Amino acid sequence: MALRLCLNATWRWQIDDVIQDSTAFGPQRAPDPKQQLQHQMHGFEKAAASLRTTTSSLPPFSNLSESDLMSPAKGAVCVTGAGGFLGSWVAHLLLSRNYLVRGTVRDPLDEKYAHLKQLPNASSNLELVKADLLDYPSLVSAIQGCSGVFHVASPVPSSSVSNPQVDLIEPAVTGTLNVLKACVETKVKRVVYVSSAAAVFMNPSWPDSQPMDESCWSDAEYCRATENWYYLSKTEAEIKAMEYAKANGLDVVSVCPNLIIGPLLKPTVNASTMVLTKLLKEGKDLEENKHHRVVDVRDVAEALVLVYEKPEAQGRYICTAHSIHVKDVVDILKEKYPNYNYPRNFTDGEEKKEMSSEKLQRQGWSYRSLQETLVDAVESYKKAGVLD
């Protein structure tokens, strides 16, 4: 019943909007608005039927105010890759803030997305739709009726890929351009694009003494020559996204996080989470004492929603919190969890250039302590059984 009310109130308003927009494109795009409405209503009802109302035990975001939780729905937004590590937290935050969320996944019937249906407000305000980054019509359907898009989806491999062009570059670059084209076609007001520090720091000519800021771009040719394919995919995707936005008058703000860690909402482990789970499980005799810059997944979600909501936000924002070596991470973990199978010895690792999130902090962004991130992460791994 609650689902029907939602359908008739806010989503219905969005559907009406879609029809008005599509009639403006002429008969080729919208042959029969009534039929289209019925089709979309059917889609929403099917999605609604697949969601089960559950009392969620998931952790809320710590800094949500009473008014956030009680406010009327804020409008519809699309989250691409809503089933991923970061995408799930972005969907969670948006739902907690009373947005209507349409999340794209590649197979809505896959059990690996079940956690999304248990998020607070999901039973009334979340719709999961099937979309692939290389399937343009699926993106247009997913984005239609939304005033904002959080483009999170992109391949993040946990090991080397056999065909970088097909496995990484095309979904990242062509996929991002497809999302942006669909946003122009459907008159989206703002896109928040999840880039990466990978698009910032692969720049051998940046002076060692100067912390990297948003004016620093990874050198695509250097990424190619050193066969850093993921870095190349994110660098080319962000460059092309910004060019496309400028040429087409689309409002795109990009956020470039460093290594993202923190609690899992989903039951499976993504590439960046493996950095921690391996330290807890593998008991290596010798581990490289790598230097990482890390940020909590919940703080990244907060950054994305912050720049979405701030009209004055523009350009790119580096999103980084702590600069730390692997050995120090192990020492923090050992204090609270002494019995895991940690590395026994460390070799020196390469130092990385510093990076600053000052621009994002000036917008009001802050981040939690590393201790909080690590403890919440391990507790979530225990719950998900990924350390067994």
Ligand X SMILES: NC(=O)c1ccc[n+]([C@@H]2O[C@H](COP(=O)([O-])OP(=O)(O)OC[C@H]3O[C@@H](n4cnc5c(N)ncnc54)[C@H](OP(=O)(O)O)[C@@H]3O)[C@@H](O)[C@H]2O)c1
Q: What are the catalytic residues?
A: 234
Which residue has tokens 């248990």?
118
181 counts as binding ligand X under rule CB under 6 A: no
Q: Tell me the window of 31-39, 93-101, 128-136, 358-366 that interacts with ligand X (CB under 6 A).
A: 128-136
Q: Which is nearer to ligand X, 19 or 329 (CB)?
A: 329
Residue with the CB atom nearest ligand X in the bound state: 84
Distance CA 363, CA 306 (A): 8
Residue from 6, 48, 51, 156 binding ligand X (CB under 6 A): 156
Q: Count the helices and strands in the chain (H runs, E runs).
A: 16, 12
Give the contacts of 231 (CB within 8 A, at least 6 positions apart): 196, 198, 199, 202, 218, 223
Q: How far from 176 is each of 133, 180, 328, CA to CA, in Å?
A: 7, 6, 36
CB atoms within 10 A of CB 35: 10
Q: Is 83 in the site for ligand X (CB under 6 A)?
A: yes
15, 51, 133, 321: which one binds ligand X (CB under 6 A): 133
Nearest to 21 by CA among 179, 251, 182, 186: 186
Per the CB < 8 A criterion, the answer to whether 303 and 267 are in contact is no
| Identified binder of ligand X from the candidate list 11, 36, 44, 87, rule CB under 6 A | 87
Report d(CA 123, CA 4) in Å as an integer.
11
Q: What is the DSSP string of 119-178?
A: STTHHHHEEEEE--TT-HHHHHHHHTT-SEEEE------SS--S-HIIIIIIIIIIHHHH
**Shortest reach from residue 195's CB to ligand X, in Å:** 7
Which residues from 136-155 bind ligand X, rule CB under 6 A? 152-155
- Smallest separation (angstroms) from ligand X to the CB of 217: 15
Closer Cβ to ligand X, 148 or 171, answer by number: 171
Binders in 266-295 for ligand X, by CB under 6 A: 270, 272
Please give the size of the binding site for ligand X, defined by CB under 6 A: 26
Helix (H, G, I), strand (E, B) or coil at 7: helix
| 193 counts as binding ligand X under rule CB under 6 A | no
Cβ 28 to ligand X shortest distance, Å = 26
CB-based burial label for 168 (10 Å; 0-12, 13-18, 19+): buried
Q: Does 265 bind ligand X (CB under 6 A)?
A: no
92 scored as a contact of ligand X (CB under 6 A): no
132 counts as binding ligand X under rule CB under 6 A: yes
Q: Taking contact as CB under 6 A, which single stretch among the options 85-93, 176-184, 310-318, 339-347 is the one that binds ligand X?
A: 85-93
Binding site for ligand X (CB under 6 A): 81, 83-87, 105-106, 132-134, 152-156, 171, 175, 194, 196, 234, 257, 259-260, 270, 272
